[in-house]
């Protein structure tokens, strides 16, 4: 383990004033990372609200780092490992913040948004209808209720994945997996029913396996 990481572990593992000083230094560092990170994301949130997100992220990340300290195995520098907690907290806080926007809501099944999502010209009426019909058929025939709800929220509604995490209490990994399975099943359906015959490279990339995650 590198010298600086050992020093961090010693300070955070100390007792009394030495530990307090170490924790304060950690919090200060994580706050600076959080402030840089919320600025880098370029979200619509600004001013004190954005500062709030950064402060809450740094607070919660500090607690998480201290709780997980025994699991740090020196695979990276200590600071890199600790920064990961604050970056993940920023994502989680921004996901929660999404629902505070006045316009935020879970979308109805507005299928007209599907062709827009993939750049089909608004005046290309028959192409738009063809794409909507194909995907609706696939969604009706191959997705579970749960997969359908995720697909509608994320693809038609444009709801960020981390906002769904905040809304449903499910994990990012579980939601990603649901959308992953939906994508795979819809593609297999379109392929099997000849919808992708005109697309370049259709069905030729050998990626049809069961797949993870």
How far from the centroid of its chain's Cα atoms is residue 111's Cα?
A: 23
Q: Please, which residue, 15 or 151, has the CB nearer to another protein?
A: 151
Nearest approach, Cβ of 179 to another protein (angstroms)? 9
Give the footprint of another protein on this chain (CB under 8 A): 4, 29, 32-33, 36-37, 40-41, 75-77, 79-81, 83-84, 86-88, 90-91, 115, 118-120, 127, 131, 135, 160-162, 171-173, 176-177, 180, 183-184, 186-187, 190, 196, 198-202, 205, 207, 209-213
- In sequence order, the 6+-apart residues with CB closer than 8 A to the CB of 176 are 161, 213
Q: Please, which residue, 63 or 88, has the CB nearer to Zn ion?
A: 88
Distance CA 178, CA 123 (A): 33
Q: Please, which residue, 74 or 211, has the CB nearer to Zn ion?
A: 211
Q: Please, which residue, 19 or 184, has the CB nearer to another protein?
A: 184
Nearest approach, Cβ of 212 to another protein (angstroms)? 6
Number of H helices, E strands in the chain: 9, 0
Distance CA 61, CA 58 (A): 5
Nearest approach, Cβ of 33 to another protein (angstroms)? 5
| Residue 144 interacting entry, from Zn ion, another protein, none, C-beta within 5 to 8 Å by type | none
DSSP secondary structure letters along 43-111: -S--HHHHHHHHHHHHHHHHHHHHHHGGG--SSS-HHHHHHHHHHHHHHHHHHHHGGGSTT-------T
Nearest approach, Cβ of 144 to another protein (angstroms)? 16
Do 34 and 89 form a contact (C-beta atoms < 8 A)?
Answer: yes
Give the footprint of Zn ion on this chain (CB under 5 A): 176
């Amino acid at each position: 383990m590198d010298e600086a990481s050992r020093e961090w572990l010693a300070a955070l593992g100390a007792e009394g004033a030495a530990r307090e000083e170490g924790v304060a230094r950690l919090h200060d560092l994580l706050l600076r990372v959080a402030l840089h990170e919320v600025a880098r994301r370029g979200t619509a949130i600004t001013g004190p609200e954005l500062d709030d997100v950064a402060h809450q992220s740094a607070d919660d990340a500090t607690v998480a780092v201290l709780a997980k300290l025994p699991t740090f195995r020196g695979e990276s520098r200590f600071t890199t490992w600790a920064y990961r907690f604050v970056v993940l907290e920023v994502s989680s806080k921004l996901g929660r913040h999404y629902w505070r926007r006045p316009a935020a809501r879970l979308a109805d099944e507005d299928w007209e948004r599907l062709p827009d999502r993939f750049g089909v010209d608004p005046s290309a009426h028959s192409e738009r209808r063809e794409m909507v019909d194909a995907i609706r058929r696939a969604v009706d025939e191959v997705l579970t209720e749960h997969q359908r709800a995720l697909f509608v929220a994320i693809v038609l509604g444009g709801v960020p994945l981390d906002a769904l995490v905040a809304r449903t209490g499910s994990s990012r990994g579980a939601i990603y997996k649901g959308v992953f399975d939906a994508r795979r099943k819809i593609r297999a359906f379109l392929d099997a029913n000849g919808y992708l015959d005109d697309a370049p490279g259709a069905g030729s990339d050998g990626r049809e396996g069961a797949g993870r995650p």
